[in-house]
C-alpha cells in the first residue's frame, strides 16, 4: 500500500470517529453543570413553613406567558414525587380537570380550610399546606445521546391553610428533564432548613 493511500485511510478513520463521537461529546457538554440556577423567596418567611407537614399540590400548575406544559399535570406530579422521595413533606395532589377555570379554582382552594379541602379531594389526610405552582418559562433542547434538557422557572406558592400565610419561591433549574424535579426538591429542602 502506498503512503498516500495509508494517509487517506487514516484521515477517513479519524473523520469517521470524530463524527460518531461528536453527539456524545456535545450531549455531555450540554448536561455539565445542571441543577438549580437560581432560587429566591419573593414573598413570606421560610421560618413559618416546616418540613414534614402534610402538603396538597394542585395539578396542573398554572402557566405564565412564557410557560407551557410538556404534559398537563406532569410538573406538579414530578415535583410531588421528588418532595415525597426526600420526605420534605408528606404530599398528595389534587388534579383539577377543569383547566379553563384553573386560576379561579386555585384562588378558591387557597381560601378553603384544611377540612374543606380534605372533603373536596377525598384525601387520606388533612392537608396543612397547599402548593400552587406556576410555570413562568420553559425551554427544551435535545442533548445528543443524553436526553431532553429543560430550562424551567417556576413560582411555587405555599399556603398555610390554617393561618393563611403565603410563601412564594421563584426557582429556575436547568438539567435533564427527569432531574429537574429532584434538583428543585433538594433546593427547597435546603432553603426551608435555613428558615
pLDDT tens digits for the chain (195 residues)?
577 777 777 777 766 555 555 555 554 544 456 889 999 999 999 999 999 999 999 999 999 999 999 889 999 999 999 999 999 999 998 999 888 899 999 999 999 999 999 998 888 889 999 999 999 999 988 877 678 889 999 999 999 999 999 999 999 999 988 999 999 999 999 999 886
Q: Are residues 28 and 40 in the same domain?
A: no
Q: Are residues 83 and 116 in the same domain?
A: yes
Q: Are residues 117 and 189 in the same domain?
A: yes
Cell numbers placing 172: 429556575
Q: Are residues 87 and 135 in the same domain?
A: yes
Q: Are residues 75 and 113 in the same domain?
A: yes
Question: 3-class DSSP state for residue 113?
Answer: coil
Question: 3-class DSSP state for residue 121?
Answer: helix
| Angle in degrees, CA 142, 73, 106, rounded to 5 | 135
pTM, entire model: 0.84
Cell numbers placing 162: 390554617
Cα distances (angstroms) measured from residue 67 to each of 100, 179, 180: 16, 19, 15
Q: Are residues 92 and 149 in the same domain?
A: yes
Give the pLDDT of residue 31: 47
| Cα(192)–Cα(134) distance, integer angstroms | 19
Helices (H), 40-176: 74-85, 102-111, 114-121
Question: 3-class DSSP state for residue 165?
Answer: coil
According to DSSP, the residues that pair with 170 across neighbouring strands are 40, 155
Q: Is the separation of the CB atoms in 74 and 128 below 8 Å?
A: no
Burial class of residue 177 (count of CB atoms within 10 Å of its CB; 0-12, 13-18, 19+): middle
Q: Are residues 68 and 156 in the same domain?
A: yes
Q: What is the CATH number of the domain that holds 116?
A: 3.40.50
Q: Is the separation of the CB atoms in 146 and 6 below 8 Å?
A: no
Number of domain units in the chain: 2
Q: Are residues 57 and 139 in the same domain?
A: yes
Helices (H), the chain: 3-31, 74-85, 102-111, 114-121, 177-194
Q: Are residues 140 and 45 in the same domain?
A: yes
Q: Is the separation of the CB atoms in 147 and 176 below 8 Å?
A: yes
Domain span at residue 113 reads 33-194
Q: Are residues 167 and 82 in the same domain?
A: yes
Q: Are residues 181 and 112 in the same domain?
A: yes
Q: Are residues 24 and 37 in the same domain?
A: no
Amino acid at each position: 500500500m502506498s503512503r498516500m493511500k495509508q494517509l487517506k485511510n487514516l484521515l477517513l478513520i479519524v473523520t469517521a470517529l470524530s463524527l460518531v463521537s461528536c453527539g456524545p461529546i456535545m450531549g455531555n457538554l450540554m448536561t455539565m453543570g445542571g441543577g438549580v440556577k437560581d432560587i429566591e423567596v419573593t414573598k413570606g418567611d421560610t421560618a413559618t413553613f416546616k418540613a414534614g407537614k402534610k402538603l396538597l399540590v394542585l395539578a396542573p400548575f398554572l402557566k405564565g406567558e412564557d410557560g407551557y406544559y410538556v404534559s398537563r399535570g406532569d410538573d406538579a406530579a414530578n415535583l410531588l414525587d421528588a418532595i415525597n422521595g426526600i420526605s420534605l413533606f408528606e404530599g398528595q395532589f389534587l388534579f383539577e380537570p377543569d383547566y379553563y377555570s384553573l386560576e379561579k379554582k386555585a384562588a378558591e382552594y387557597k381560601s378553603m380550610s384544611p377540612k374543606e379541602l380534605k372533603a373536596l379531594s377525598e384525601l387520606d389526610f388533612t392537608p396543612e399546606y397547599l402548593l400552587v405552582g406556576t410555570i413562568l418559562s420553559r425551554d427544551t433542547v435535545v442533548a445528543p445521546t443524553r436526553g431532553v434538557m429543560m430550562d424551567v422557572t417556576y413560582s411555587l406558592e405555599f399556603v398555610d391553610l390554617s393561618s393563611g400565610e403565603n410563601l412564594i419561591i421563584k426557582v429556575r433549574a436547568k438539567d435533564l428533564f427527569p432531574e429537574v424535579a429532584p434538583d428543585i426538591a433538594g433546593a427547597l429542602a435546603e432553603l426551608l432548613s435555613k428558615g
